[in-house]
Amino acid sequence: MPKQLFGVHGTYATALFQSAGSAGNLDKVEADLKNFVGHIDSNDAFRAFLTNPTIPRVSKKADIDAILAKGKFTPTTKAFFGTLAENGRLAETAKINEKFVELMNAHRGEVAAVVTSAEALSKSQLKTLEKSCASFLNKGESIKLEARVDPDILGGLTLQVGDRFMDLSISNKINKMHNMLSESV
């Protein structure tokens, strides 16, 4: 297991990861999940069906089985969604997928990094930042950098690499100065 996850979503994602790993189809199951979540995001009626608590679980399972039979989903994926339907957890699919992606990234040696800046960073700035983040990595790991923009930080940036967080934002410095001034009064 590349990393330990907790909570309901983590438990389901871990079970799916182990099952797909045993079957030798991790990449295909990852693609299946992404495809399924894409349909949830783009189809309001499908999302409403998955989240509707008044539809009996048996009916949902039969409908999910019929939907998956039309696609090219792996037997692992079909069994997983059958289990979600039986347990009344289909509405949790997107969150389970997020945890599964975490496991797949860890399996590939990819470390998630999120940089937040007040304005969009250039490609060269992002490349420089990726190189700087290399010092946080273990051998065999690579950075998977996501850039976000948040004007509220005023300037500078925040950086989350795995479980490490650095706040180099102007707003953080202003807050620290404000707190120091408040304490001295």
List per-block mean pLDDT (blocks of 10 residues) for the chain, which spans 185 residues.
86 96 95 94 93 93 92 93 95 95 89 90 91 80 88 90 85 87 79
CA angle 143, 144, 148 (to 5 degrees): 120
Q: In this predicted structure, what is the pLDDT of residue 73?
A: 93
Boundaries of every domain in the chain: 7-105, 109-184
Q: In this predicted structure, what is the pLDDT of residue 185?
A: 67
What is the architecture, at CATH level 2, of domain 7-105? Orthogonal Bundle (1.10)
